[in-house]
Amino acid sequence: MIVLFLVLGPMALGIASLLVRGERRRAARRAILVGGAAWHTLGTLATLTAWGRQVPVSWQSFLQLDPIGQVFLLIISVLFFLVAIYSLGYFQQEQETTLDDGVSHLYTPCMLFFLAAMTLTTVTPHFGVLWVAVEATTLASAPLIYYHRHPGALEAAWKYLLICSVGIALALLGLFFVAASGRAAHVDLTVPSLIHHAAALDQRWLRIGCILVLIGFGTKMGLAPLHNWLPDAHSEAPSPVSALLSGALLNCAFLGIVRFYQVADAAGLGAFMNRLLILFGLVSLLVATAFIAGQRDYKRLLAYSSVEHMGILALAVGVGAGAAGLLHAINHSLTKGLLFLVAGQILTLYRTKVIGDVTGLLRTAPRVGTLFAIGGLAIVGAPPFAPFVSEFLILQRGVAHGHYAVMAIYLLCLGIIFVVMSRALFGMLFGAANAEIAQTPALPRRMMIAPALLALGVAGLGLYLPAGLQTLVARAATFIGGGS
């Protein structure tokens, strides 16, 4: 029942917050947002405790929380809670310094609907419900991208809606083929049922279904060459929303692909899916490398970095490094959440997204600069931060499974990205202090707490992985299959 409340709770609070209208009640809406986020995090931790006692969590065949779902639910819940706290300070600061307060009355309800939809993707084994949940994430998050109501935000929101809707439509078509593959065996569209009857599935229909699903959910995940919506959406959305889009939403689509991978692997199509995932992973890495090298906007730079890391996740599953891939999903979410939240701080201070216009960050705003340095070093794969560990483990598993050429391209792309992205980030960190910005009042403490905690997580997980998290990731990897 806890799982059911994790979905219905945010939805009910979102509806309630729609009734709290008016600028004078802004504080009440923010209180609902933080309260709902805290309640969701406590509920998520309760489900983890329940799983530790081997108590099944289910509601009919539509809601069942398995270890893979737990990994992604934990990421979503923790990141959303931190983003909710950050939002209190971010929008207060924005309201004090700008005349345009955006579609503020929709922020809290849309965020809570977004949380409910993302939660549903993690707790359902039913492909029909999963498809509805992924589509719901698009509808709930599009108004958040349009928050600032300027032409760039409108274009980004429409591009996001259009491209992701086309992708989701292809995924639905793929779902029909998967259903057709099990017509003779009379299976339902749940992961356990399809795996149980995998030997009876028609591989011709299933193969077509897997291709369409990979293209469809790959579009939402931001895999190249289907990633066109991602740079605009991440760049134009408010920074708290960008953090969730990159750190939580992309994982939901990745989870959908993993669910189909489980079925394909059980039906004997694991090698076929591996080749597709490796192909999409390499293309994403190559495209991200090319676009990162030419970026002048630091939020778009982080967006293309998301394309890179989604490619790494696809590659990890394709080369049989599922456990390392899951660990990298956690590490990427924490790091990218940190970077987008700090990007919001930089935007608040410098009033620009142009990389060349931001210099001397460590001297101008030492705390912001330090957090940005930690996030920047982590995202380029520098040791000893957490992404370095998971990227190394993926390399190790890929080589162990004989994917020498693939791993060589993987290393080459990571090396180039390390150099070009470090040059851009270091240019922002070092240099003379901006005296005018340095004299402005310090940012609100509520804007500093969440990035500081994320930085602590990014640094801490690179040095020590708690036993409970190791167990959770290892157990989830066994569910993926494919030699993970």
**pTM summary value:** 0.94
Instruction: Say how far apart CA 142 and CA 198 lie, in whole Å.
Output: 37
Whole-angstrom CA distances from 453 to 284, 334, 338, 404 are 30, 9, 9, 37
Residue 99 confidence (pLDDT): 47
Q: What count of Cα atoms within 13 Å lies in the side-chain half-sphere of residue 97?
A: 14
| 3 state SS of 63 | strand
Instruction: Say how far apart CA 7 and CA 66 lie, in whole Å.
Output: 16
Cα-based angle 120, 122, 126 (whole degrees, multiple of 5): 75
The alpha-helical segments, DSSP class H, found in 149-190 are 151-181
User: Could you tell me the two tokens for 271?
Assistant: 């090698």
Cα-based angle 178, 183, 188 (whole degrees, multiple of 5): 70
Strand partners, 126: 190
User: Could you tell me the two tokens for 63?
Assistant: 């809601």
Residue 60 confidence (pLDDT): 59
Beta carbons within 8 Å of 471's beta carbon, 6+ residues apart = none
Beta carbons within 8 Å of 146's beta carbon, 6+ residues apart = 103, 153, 154, 156, 157
**Helix (H) / strand (E) containing 58:** strand 58-59
- By C-alpha distance, which of 285, 326, 297, 300 is closest to 417? 285
Q: What amino acid is encoded at 175 in this protein?
A: L
Residue 482 confidence (pLDDT): 56
Residue 483 confidence (pLDDT): 54
Question: pLDDT of the chain along its 484 residues, tens only?
Answer: 677 889 999 999 999 998 887 766 778 888 999 999 999 999 999 888 765 454 454 555 788 888 999 999 999 999 999 999 999 888 777 766 654 555 567 899 999 999 999 999 999 999 999 999 999 999 999 999 998 888 999 999 999 999 999 999 999 999 999 999 988 777 888 999 999 999 999 999 999 999 999 999 999 999 999 899 999 999 999 999 999 999 999 999 999 999 999 999 999 999 999 999 999 999 999 999 999 988 999 999 999 999 999 999 999 999 999 999 999 999 999 999 999 999 999 999 999 999 999 999 999 999 999 999 999 999 999 999 999 999 999 999 999 999 999 999 999 999 999 999 999 999 999 988 888 888 888 888 889 999 999 999 999 999 999 999 999 999 999 888 655 5
Q: Can you give 255-295 as a three-state secondary structure string? A: HHHHHHHHHHHHCCCHHHHHHHHHHHHHHHHHHHHHHHHCC
User: Could you tell me the two tokens for 17?
Assistant: 């917050």
Q: Using the structure block, give the residue that is written with the tokens 């760049």.
A: 235
DSSP state of 77: H
Q: By the 8 A CB rule, do 476 and 71 touch?
A: yes
N-to-C CA span, the chain: 31
For 212-261, how does the pLDDT look when each residue is reduced to its tens digit (9 = 90+)? 999 999 999 999 998 999 999 999 999 999 999 999 999 999 999 999 99
For 359-416, how does the pLDDT look when each residue is reduced to its tens digit (9 = 90+)? 999 999 999 999 999 999 999 999 999 999 999 999 999 999 999 999 999 999 999 9
Instruction: Say how far apart CA 90 and CA 345 lie, in whole Å.
Output: 8
Q: Is the bond into 384 cis (omega within 30 degrees of 0)?
A: yes
DSSP state of 226: S
The alpha-helical segments, DSSP class H, found in 185-269 are 191-196, 203-221, 229-236, 239-244, 250-266
What is the Cα Rg of the chain in Å? Answer: 21
Strand partners, 297: 354
Q: By the 8 A CB rule, do 168 and 135 touch?
A: yes
Instruction: Say how far apart CA 17 and CA 446 lie, in whole Å.
Output: 22
Instruction: Say how far apart CA 468 and CA 242 lie, in whole Å.
Output: 29
E strand intervals along 84-129 = none
Q: By the 8 A CB rule, do 429 and 342 touch?
A: no
Instruction: Say how far apart CA 38 and CA 421 lie, in whole Å.
Output: 35
Q: What amino acid is encoded at 67 in this protein?
A: P
Strand partners, 64: 58
Instruction: Say how far apart CA 257 and CA 397 lie, in whole Å.
Output: 20
